[in-house]
Amino acid sequence: MPPKRFNPFRIPDKLLNDPILTEIIQNYLPRNYNFEIHKTIWRIRCLKARCVALQMPEGLLRFATTLSEIFQRFGSASYKFNDEDPEQEKADDASSEVDIIILGDVTYGACCIDDFTAKALGADLLVHYGHSCLIPIQSLSVLYVFVDIAFDMAHFIDSIKTIFPSNASFALFSTIQFVSSLPAIKKSLQEGGFKIIIPQRLPLSPGELLGCTSPKVSGVDFMVFIGDGRFHLESAMLANPTLPAYLYDPYNKVLTHESYDHALMRTNRRRSIETAQSAQRFGIILGTLGRQGSPPVVHLLQRRIEELGRNFFVILLSEIFPDKLKLFGDKVDAWIQVACPRLSIDWGMEFEKPLLTPYEAAVALGMADGKWSDASPYPTDYYAYDSLGPWTPNHVDNRLNVRVPSLRPSKKSPTACCDHNKCNQ
């Protein structure tokens, strides 16, 4: 009988059922959080990784040292699972130890994936927690761990049934941690008469929201978001200004009706755009927090400003604060930040000079339409494949894999999306 073909994506039973590993997971990690420990260990072993970088948002950092210790112990070939011969591969044990690096810098979202730092530190594998696969990475192997969080779905379903009529229709959203629960919720509520849709805007998962990217929906009475905090929900509220919005916090089990001052937001953003239209000197900020910055978008803005006979300079910043930009004094009339659109939308009025998103800069420079209304809302398409124009990173014109930020337009042909992650495996 020929030997079984090796499948790197099939986790062996000896790993899944290892009693020591099982006990550690149960005792030292929350049981409703899925850190995909077995999958990560198997990926480390398959890659024969000797240096692994862990990156996660601040809310998960309290688990970082525990994860590090687990992977250092069980990712090494020197640890033998319950049915392995301790003498097996003994000669390789000396070089099989795994070094774990914890990347502790702030991580706001999937756009902050820091493969550059991981690669510079010699990592063979980067494990990124809490976000979906948004930026194609080819510089090293990357494993995305969504960290699915189990919550009391029955309480959420009962809350919906209690508050809303059974013939109501609504859109259901969440962050990536709760996306896996949405189909079961939809099925249960539809059996009771509700009409539910789980919208999707590629490349996001069905029902997933980002603070800068969300779908427009129609044909429903309201929308419900499952998650803690308003940040992601506000993105959907911007995209659907006339749709009532509700937030269900799965941690404190509270359902609230949320509102947003669209008129104030539009007034503030128009004021910044109008001021920037007469600017002669622009400061273009390329975000360096992970992969936030998009060199192709910077190149587009550079070319347009040059066409108009105006001046610019480029500055690289990991985070953007009013006091930092004040240091440049009167050398800049308006700023364009190619980092996070919500920085301008939410806090733009805290800056002395206009702080525009790439889209707003496109409006100010005569490249895009800036007329917003309830019928034509402010765009939330920053990472969407169907975005309005090349001032967004994932627009068809910009869908390149840029390995290192460059301030000169790339002449390379587009490269294929990475195949390291096998997100559906």
Maximum average pLDDT range among 82-91, 395-404, 411-420:
395-404
pLDDT of amino acid 220: 98
pLDDT of amino acid 234: 99
pLDDT of amino acid 400: 55
Q: How does residue 419 score in pLDDT terms, banded at 50, 70 and 90?
A: very low
Integer Cα distance of 209 and 220 in angstroms: 18
Mean pLDDT of the residues in the chain: 91
Which amino acid is located at 20 in the chain? Answer: I
pLDDT top residue among 417 and 166: 166
Report yes or no: 140 and 117 within 8 Å, Cβ to Cβ: no
- Of 258, 278, 302, which marks where a domain is finished? 258
pLDDT top residue among 93 and 393: 393
Same domain for 68 and 163, yes or no, is no
Mean pLDDT of 339-362: 98
pLDDT of amino acid 403: 43
Same domain for 240 and 196, yes or no, is yes
Residue 109 lies in a domain: yes
Q: How does residue 69 score in pLDDT terms, banded at 50, 70 and 90?
A: very high
Same domain for 81 and 182, yes or no, is no
pLDDT of amino acid 259: 98
How far, in whole angstroms, is CA 367 from its chain's centroid? 27
Residue 368 lies in a domain: yes
Residue 425 lies in a domain: no
Report yes or no: 197 and 171 within 8 Å, Cβ to Cβ: yes
Same domain for 139 and 184, yes or no, is no
- Match 């890659």 to its residue by tokens: 47
- Of 124, 149, 174, which marks where a domain is finished? 149
- Of 106, 124, 149, which marks where a domain is finished? 149
How far, in whole angstroms, is CA 243 from its chain's centroid? 24
Cα–Cα distances (Å) from 326 to 3, 149, 306, 320, in that order, read 67, 42, 24, 11
Same domain for 30 and 142, yes or no, is yes
Domain at 68, CATH number: 3.40.50.11840
Same domain for 81 and 24, yes or no, is yes
Same domain for 245 and 306, yes or no, is no
Instruction: Please write the tens of the pLDDT for every residue from 110-122.
Output: 999 999 999 999 9
Same domain for 248 and 269, yes or no, is no
Integer Cα distance of 175 and 233 in angstroms: 9
Residue 7 lies in a domain: no
Residue 347: pLDDT over 80: yes
pLDDT of amino acid 416: 39
Instruction: Please write the tens of the pLDDT for every residue from 114-160.
Output: 999 999 999 999 999 999 999 888 889 999 999 999 999 999 999 99
Residue 157 lies in a domain: yes
Same domain for 90 and 175, yes or no, is no
Residue 409: pLDDT over 60: no
- Tallying the residues shown for the chain, one arrives at 425
Instruction: Please write the tens of the pLDDT for every residue from 248-301.
Output: 999 999 999 999 999 999 999 999 999 999 999 999 999 999 999 999 999 999
Domain at 226, CATH number: 3.40.50.11850
Same domain for 172 and 237, yes or no, is yes
Task: Fill in the DSSP letter of residue 407.
Answer: S
Q: State phi, psi for 173 to the nearest 5 degrees.
A: -130, 165
Mean pLDDT of 54-81: 95
Residue 122 lies in a domain: yes
Residue 294 lies in a domain: yes
Residue 413 lies in a domain: no
Mean pLDDT of 402-413: 43
Look up the domain containing 126 and give its range: 13-149
- Match 């996306």 to its residue by tokens: 179
Mean pLDDT of 191-211: 98
Same domain for 59 and 94, yes or no, is yes
pLDDT of amino acid 425: 37
Same domain for 288 and 382, yes or no, is yes
Integer Cα distance of 276 and 289 in angstroms: 25
Integer Cα distance of 19 and 29 in angstroms: 15
Total domains in the fold of the chain: 3
